[in-house]
Each structure stands twice: as structure tokens, then as C-alpha cells.
Amino acid sequence: MDGTNIVENIPQREPKKEEQPKKEEQQNKSKKKSISFWLAILFGALLLLSIGVNVVLSIVVTAKMLETPDSPISSIGNEKFVQGDKNSKNKILLISVNGIILEQAQDSLFFNKKSIIETIKDNLGKAEEAIVLSVNSPGGGITECDEIHHEIMKFKEKKQIPIVVSMQDLAASGGYYISAPAQKIFAQPTTLTGSIGVIMEFTNIEGLFKKIGLEGVTIKSGKLKDIGSPTRDMTKEEDELLNKMVQEMSQRFFKVVRDGRTKITDEQFKIISDARIFTAQQAKDAGLVDEIGYLDDAFNSAIDLAGIKDARLIKFKQNITFFDLLSETSKNLNPQSKLEEHIETIIPTSPRLMYIWRE
């Protein structure tokens, strides 16, 4: 008998009945893992797509916001026609000041955002025939308002071209401070203006501390070092000292108004100096504004004062870089930082003198 026949006659081993389900189970597990893997890839791709779309939308929305006149002051950029004769070679520059006037320069690794002072200097440097200053502001910091006033006065001496103010909804306190040097001031029928004076605000939380069992501890080099501290009441000496500062800065404001509005009588000034707010008609009666009218009235007045027959009113759109958009988008995606910024504007962490009207 040869070897071949021996191999053929050996009975073949049949697979056990338990092995077949195990193989099928392993195959099913492998298929499930494969499906889970591809589903994870799909959901990951969709998530990344969603994030990308949201970022793009945020940037687009931010760009639109930056193109509107909602920022404190419009920036130098591309020329944009507003109204008038499109074919005229004469240009009257529209500069818009909106919102609370506070220093907002920002430096970062990639870009430098100009402050309100730097921006207005750039705008003034672009003026040719005349300027229409559109003001919609309750005022702001005394230093910022005074610096803008200073730049306008320097510009008047250097270029000697007309500046006409067009007051919008609100042009009070610091909003009026920067308007005072204009040759002519227009207020809309619904404008609120005035509030000629200074304010200093801070919050006293001593009572709250006592309620919750906290006590402020201050180590200071002099008795007046923590003047205006929120954790205790002011002394009589501190109150008198701060009042003197407020009165001194108020006198500076009064001089700005007197210098800019030379026709105001002593009787009118007595009414103005109590820092009250005025309607447009009341402000005209008090000598704070010349005419009640709209932006087009201010524009036509600027044409007349410039001694030209026609003109076009132009403004400069803001040049927005990628980093500007990225910065503003990150702010919009971080509501806490925006809230802190608003709180600091309303309730400053440190007392400061302000040319601002508080409702």
C-alpha cells in the first residue's frame, strides 16, 4: 500500500459547531467597528464644516458692523459718496463721531488699531473745502474730548476752512465740547444737547461688605492715597478736594463754550452753566446752536461758508484687514469681555472725571 492511499483514507476533521458562530460574531464586530469609524469621520468632518461656516459668518457680520457708523469715529479708508453733486470736483468731508468718546487704541502682535485721537487727526488731514462734523455722543473722558477739541483748533488755524456741526440724536457734554469750535452748529428737531459740565462717579459698596461679612483693608502711604475708595465713605476733606477738581475742569469747559460761542450773553450762560440738558429749540434760545436742521442743511451751509457753488459730501470707509476681522470676531465670540467693557464704561473701576451726560 503506497503513501498516497494512506493520506486519502485519513478521515478529514470537520469544524466544530461552536466555531462558526464565533467567526460570524467576529465578522459582525469588525463591520460595526468599521461603520463606527467612518461615522466618526463623517461627524468630525461635519463638525469642522460647521465651525468653519460659523467663523466665516461671524467675520462677515463683523465686517458689516465695522462698515456702519457705530464705532466711536469713522476711519480713513476708501472714499464714499454721501450726497450732493456726484460730478463736482469740490469735496466736503463728513466726519462722524458716535457713541461714548473714550481712548480705544489696541496693540497686538499683528496689527495696531488707531485710537479715536489718531483717527480724527487722519480725517482732518484729508479735508479739502470744508468739514461737516456729525455728532451723536453723550460725551466721554475729559482728556479724550479735550484732545479732539485741541486737534480741531489746530486744524482751524492751519487750514482755515469751515467746520459745520450736524447734531444727531444726542450731542451732550463732551459731544458739545468737540462741537463748540465750529463756525455753525445745526441741531435736528429731536436733538438733545447741553449738559455743559463735569461729573465724577464711583460706587460705595461698604454697606454690601458689612452685610456679607467682608472688610476692606488698605495700606497707604498718605491719608488721601485711596480717595474715592469704594469700600468706605469719603471724609469731608476728600469731598471738598474732589469738588474743587470738578469745578476746575468745569471752568475749562465753560471757557471752551465761551470761546466758541462768542454771542452767548451772561444771562444765557447762567442758564447753561447749571449743566442741564436742552432740546434743540431750547439750545437755540440759549445760544448753543445756530439753526435747527438736518445733515443736508449742514452740508448746504458748509458749501456757502466755503464760497463754492456745488460740492459732494464724502466720507471715508474703514479699511478692514483680516486681523481686524479676526480681532472683532474673537470679541463677538467672547461675550464676557464685551460685558466687562460695557460695565467699565458705565461703572469705572477707578473714579475719573468725565464730560458725559448720564440719563
Residue 277 to residue 266: CA distance in whole angstroms: 18
Kindly state the greatest CA–CA separation across the chain.
142
Q: Give yes or no: 225 in active site.
A: yes
Cα distances from 134 to residues 159, 187, 194, in angstroms, run 20, 10, 16
- Cβ distance 72 to 97 under 8 Å? yes
Cell 444737547 belongs to: 193
Residue 192 to residue 172: CA distance in whole angstroms: 7
Grid coordinates given for 319 = 479699511
Catalytic hit among 32, 89, 154, 225: 225
Within 10 angstroms of residue 44's Cβ, the number of other Cβ atoms is: 10
Rg (CA), the chain: 34
**Residue 70 CB contacts under 8 Å (≥ 6 apart), including other chains:** 98, 99
The residues pairing with 101 across neighbouring beta strands, listed in sequence order, are 140
Q: Give yes or no: 96 in active site.
A: no
Residue 283 to residue 277: CA distance in whole angstroms: 9
- Cβ distance 272 to 194 under 8 Å? yes
Task: Name the packing angle between helices 335-346 and 322-332 (round to 10°).
Answer: 80
Cα distances from 349 to residues 164, 178, 226, 336, in angstroms, run 36, 26, 13, 16
Catalytic hit among 96, 134, 137, 173: 173
Looking at this protein, which amino acid is placed at residue 35?
A: I
Which positions are annotated as active-site residues?
173, 225
